Chains A and B, each alone.
Chain A
Amino acid sequence: MSFEKELQNWEKKVKESEKKVPPRNVPFTTISDMELPLLSTPKDLDEIGFDYLKDLGFPGEYPYTRGVQSNMYRGKLWTMRQFAGFSSPAETNKRFKLLLAQGQTGLSTAFDMPTLMGYDADSPKGQGEVGKCGVSISSIEDMEELFVGIPLGEVTTSMTINGPAIVILAMYFALAEKNGVPKEKIRGTLQNDILKEYIAQKEWLFPIRPAVALVTDTIEFGTEHYPNWNTVSISGYHIREAGATAVQELAFTLADGLGYVEECMKRGMDIDEFAPRLSFFFDIHNDFFEEIAKFRAARRIWAKLMREKYKAKNPKSWMLRTHAQTAGVSLTAQQPFNNIVRVAIQALAGVLGGVNSLHTNSMDETLALPTDEAVMIALRTQQIIAEETGVAHVADPLGGSYFIESLTHRVEKEAMDYINKIYEMGGIVEAVEKGYPQAEIANSAYRFQRQMETNDKVMVGVNKYKTIEAKRTMDTLYIDRSVEKKQADKVKALRARRDNAKWQSSIDQVKKDAEAGKNMMPSIIEAVKNYATLQEVCDTLRGVYGIYRDVGSF
C-alpha cells in the first residue's frame, strides 16, 4: 500500500471515530493562534521541500537550526543567570553573593525605574520608585558598592538597561579599570536595545535617531576596546510580554537586530568585527512546541540573513546566541504555587530550543519582587532540568520531528513576511516611527484578552479552575521608603564632595561631543570617573538631543 493511500485510510478512520467522540469544543491553535494539525507526516516535510543539510545541518554548523555549539550542553550547560536587583546597591550585592554561592554562574542586574529613565535617586521625578523594581544607581560610587567583593574579571555580568545604557556601561568599564581588571577579561552583556523600548518596554529618554546612534557608539567602542563584552542584547522578551505573538516577537526582534547591523555598516564598520558580539534575548511562553520552533527558526533566519544578505564571512557573525527568560505574563497571582510548574515547562522548552543562557521566573513575581526562597526554587528548577532529566545529554532531540520541522518552517516563513514588510517600509527605524510594530502588538494583546473573556484561551486559576482563596498567602519582599532617602542623601553628599572644576570640564566635554556627533563613549567614561551622576550626563544629552514623548494611542 502506498503512503498516500494509508494516510487517506487513516483520515477516514479519524472522521468516523469523531462521529462517536467529537473533538473537544476548543480551538486547536497555539497560544499565538496558529492552527495546528492533528498529525504531521513525511508528507508535510515534502510539501515544504525539507532538506536536511540546507534546513538543519549539524549542531554548531550553518544554519545553526540545531544549536550553536557542536556538542551542545555536553560541553557547557546553558548559563543559569537569575535577574536580581532591588533596594540599595549593598542589598543587591548581598543577593548577588547568595546566588553565586548557590551555584549560579553569571550575574544579572535589574535597575530601578529612576535609573532606567536616567534620573538620580534624589530627583522628584522618581519619587516612590527608588529601589522598587531594581537597584538604584546614581553614580560610580553606587556601582562600586554594587560589585564590592565580586571579581569582575571572573564573573560575567549582565545589565538590563537601555535609555541611559551608555552611562551605566561607562561606569562599569571605569570601575573595572579602577580595580585593575584587563579589558579583555571583562565579560558580560549590556541590554542596550533602544528600538524595543519604543516598540514595547517604553523606557526611553531621547528621540529615536540619536538614541540609536548612542547604541551604535557603544558597539563601535566595545568592538575596539572590550573584545569579550556583548554591547547589545537584542530583546524580544519585552515585545512578547507587551502582547506580541511568537511570530511577532521573533520578527520584530530580528528586525531590531538588523537595524543595528545596518547602522554599524553605515559607519563603515566591518560586519565580521561587530556581529559576533551581538546577542539576543527571547521570552519563553507557555506554548511548548511553538516556543521550541521559535528558537530554532530564530537561529536559521539570522544565519541566513547575516551570510546571504549582509555577506558576513565569519561563522561567529552567523550565530544567534540567546539568553531566554520564562514568561512573566504567564504567571498568575491566583494559586501562585502553580507558577512553579509553568516555569518548569517553559524552561524545558527553552532548553529543548537550545538557548545559551536562561532565567527562570520566581513563583511570586506577579505579586512583588521575589523572595530568597522563591528565587532558590526557580534556580533549582534549572538544575533539575540540567542534571536530573537527561535532556541536556542530547543535542536538539526534537530535530527531524515532522511536526517540529513543519512548525519551525512556518514560524520562519511568517516572521520573514513581517521582516520583508519592514524592509519595504524603509527599515525598522521608519517602521517604529510610523508606530507599525506598536500597533500590531496592541492588536494581539487585545485579541488575547478578548479570548480570555470567552475562555478560548485558558489560564488555570484565573478564568478556569478557580478556587476560593480567602487571602493570597505568600510572604513577599517589601522595599521600604528609607532606601529612597538613603540613596538620595548619598548622591547629594557626592555632589558636595567632588572636585567641581574637573566635573564641570568633563560635563562640558560630553556636551561638545554630543553636539559634534562624536562617539560618546570616551567623554562619558571620563565624566563618570569625575563623579558626574547618571542624571547629569543624561540631562546634558537631553539638552542636545531633546526628549521623546508617548503619543498615547490605544
Chain B
Amino acid sequence: MSEKKDQSKIRVLIAKPGLDGHDRGAKVIARALRDAGFEVIYTGLHQTPEMIVRAAIDEDVQVIGMSILSGAHNVLVPEVISNVKKAGMKDVLYLVGGIIPEEDIDGLRKMGVQMVFTPGASLNEIIDYINKHAPQRK
C-alpha cells in the first residue's frame, strides 16, 4: 500500500468479499487499472465487509470494485455499501464484477451499485467507465 497519496490519480479499491477464492478476475483488473494510471489497492482474498470498509476509509478511495463469483453478492454487497455510508464516506463509485445473474442486476443497482461487469466485459470498457464516473476528490 502506498505511503504517499498521489492526488492526481483516481484511487480504486479492488475487494474480494466473502469466502470465494476466484481471484483471477480481480487480479487482472487490478493490474489493468494500475497500468491505466489509477492508484489501485487490492485487499487480497477472504475479506469480511468490515475489513473492506476499513480499507476503503484508510485509503480514502473514490471507487470500490467488488469481485464476487460465489453467488453471495446479494448479501455481501449491501453490507459493504451500508457500512461505508454509515462510516460517513460519501461520493463513492460502487462497481461489481463476477458471475451475477441478469435478474439480480437491478437489485444491486437499487442498493447503490452503479455498474455491474459480467464475464466478457473488456478492460477498456471498465477503465473508460471509471474515468468517466469516478467522483472528484479535493
Using CB atoms and an 8 Å cutoff, list the residues of chain A in contact with chain B. Answer: 113-114, 116-117, 119, 125-129, 132-133, 197, 201-203, 241-243, 332-334, 366-368, 442, 445-446, 449-450, 452-453, 459, 461-463, 471-472, 476, 478-479, 481, 549-554
Question: Assuming the A-B contacts A116-B19, A476-B101, are A128 and B72 also in contact, with contact meaning beta carbons closer than 8 angstroms in the complex?
Answer: yes
**Considering the complex of A and B, which 4 residue pairs feature the smallest CB-CB distances, nearest first?**
A552-B44, A128-B75, A202-B21, A128-B72
Cβ contact of B43, chosen from A203, A442, A445, A552, cutoff 8 A: A552
B111, chain A: closest CB distance, angstroms: 13
Chain B: CB-nearest residue to A329: B24
Cβ contact of B24, chosen from A117, A132, A197, A241, cutoff 8 A: A241
- Of A125, A126, A333, the most chain B CB neighbours within 10 A belong to A333
Chain A: CB-nearest residue to B48: A125
Bound form: Cα–Cα A186–B26 in Å: 40
B83, chain A: closest CB distance, angstroms: 14
Bound form: Cα–Cα A450–B43 in Å: 23
Interface stretch, picked from B2-10, B84-92, B120-128, is: B120-128
B:85-106 near A, CB below 8 Å: 99, 101-102
Residues B71 and A479 in contact, CB atoms below 8 Å apart: yes
Residues A452 and B21 in contact, CB atoms below 8 Å apart: no
**Which B residues lie within 8 Å of A203 (CB)?**
19, 21
Residues A463 and B122 in contact, CB atoms below 8 Å apart: yes
Residues A472 and B70 in contact, CB atoms below 8 Å apart: no
Residues B124 and A449 in contact, CB atoms below 8 Å apart: no
A137, chain B: closest CB distance, angstroms: 15
- Of B24, B31, B44, the most chain A CB neighbours within 10 A belong to B24
- Of B46, B76, B122, the most chain A CB neighbours within 10 A belong to B46
**Which B residues lie within 8 Å of A117 (CB)?**
19, 46
B56, chain A: closest CB distance, angstroms: 15
Chain A: CB-nearest residue to B19: A113
A99, chain B: closest CB distance, angstroms: 22
Question: Assuming the A-B contacts A243-B24, A449-B28, are A551 and B44 also in contact, with contact meaning beta carbons closer than 8 angstroms in the complex?
Answer: yes
Question: Assuming the A-B contacts A453-B122, A554-B30, are A367 and B19 also in contact, with contact meaning beta carbons closer than 8 angstroms in the complex?
Answer: no
Residues A550 and B120 in contact, CB atoms below 8 Å apart: no
Cβ contact of B123, chosen from A125, A128, A367, A453, cutoff 8 A: A453
**Which B residues lie within 8 Å of A125 (CB)?**
19, 48
Residues A445 and B21 in contact, CB atoms below 8 Å apart: no
Bound form: Cα–Cα A242–B28 in Å: 10
- Of B34, B73, B119, the most chain A CB neighbours within 10 A belong to B119
Chain A: CB-nearest residue to B99: A366
**Which A residues lie within 8 Å of B40 (CB)?**
554
Residues B119 and A128 in contact, CB atoms below 8 Å apart: no
**Main SS of the interface on chain A?**
loop
Residues B28 and A445 in contact, CB atoms below 8 Å apart: yes
**Which B residues lie within 8 Å of A446 (CB)?**
27-28, 31-32
**Which B residues lie within 8 Å of A463 (CB)?**
120, 122
Residues A549 and B102 in contact, CB atoms below 8 Å apart: no
**Which A residues lie within 8 Å of B27 (CB)?**
442, 445-446, 554
Residues A202 and B45 in contact, CB atoms below 8 Å apart: yes
Using CB atoms and an 8 Å cutoff, list the residues of chain B in contact with chain A. Answer: 14, 18-24, 26-28, 30-32, 34, 40, 42-46, 48, 70-76, 99, 101-102, 118-120, 122-124
Residues A133 and B24 in contact, CB atoms below 8 Å apart: no
Residues B42 and A113 in contact, CB atoms below 8 Å apart: no
Residues A368 and B123 in contact, CB atoms below 8 Å apart: no
A27, chain B: closest CB distance, angstroms: 19
B117, chain A: closest CB distance, angstroms: 11
What are 25 A-B pairs with beta-carbon distances under 8 A?
A: A113-B20, A116-B19, A117-B46, A125-B19, A125-B48, A128-B71, A128-B72, A129-B71, A129-B72, A132-B70, A332-B119, A333-B120, A334-B120, A367-B101, A367-B102, A368-B71, A449-B32, A453-B122, A463-B122, A478-B101, A550-B44, A552-B42, A552-B43, A553-B42, A554-B42
- Of A126, A472, A554, the most chain B CB neighbours within 10 A belong to A554
Residues A550 and B75 in contact, CB atoms below 8 Å apart: no
Question: Assuming the A-B contacts A132-B72, A368-B101, are A202 and B18 also in contact, with contact meaning beta carbons closer than 8 angstroms in the complex?
Answer: no
Q: A113-B20, A446-B32, A449-B32 are in contact. List 17 more A-B contacts (CB 8 A).
A: A128-B72, A128-B75, A129-B72, A132-B71, A133-B70, A202-B23, A203-B19, A366-B119, A368-B101, A442-B27, A445-B28, A446-B27, A446-B28, A449-B123, A453-B123, A552-B44, A552-B45
Bound form: Cα–Cα A242–B40 in Å: 21
Question: Assuming the A-B contacts A128-B75, A442-B27, A446-B28, are A201 and B120 also in contact, with contact meaning beta carbons closer than 8 angstroms in the complex?
Answer: no
Question: Assuming the A-B contacts A129-B71, A449-B28, are A367 and B18 also in contact, with contact meaning beta carbons closer than 8 angstroms in the complex?
Answer: no
- Of A242, A450, A550, the most chain B CB neighbours within 10 A belong to A550
Cβ contact of A550, chosen from B45, B102, B123, cutoff 8 A: B45
Bound form: Cα–Cα A243–B24 in Å: 7
A409, chain B: closest CB distance, angstroms: 30
Bound form: Cα–Cα A286–B111 in Å: 38
A410, chain B: closest CB distance, angstroms: 26
Question: Assuming the A-B contacts A332-B119, A554-B27, are A129 and B70 also in contact, with contact meaning beta carbons closer than 8 angstroms in the complex?
Answer: yes
Cβ contact of A128, chosen from B45, B46, B74, B124, cutoff 8 A: B74
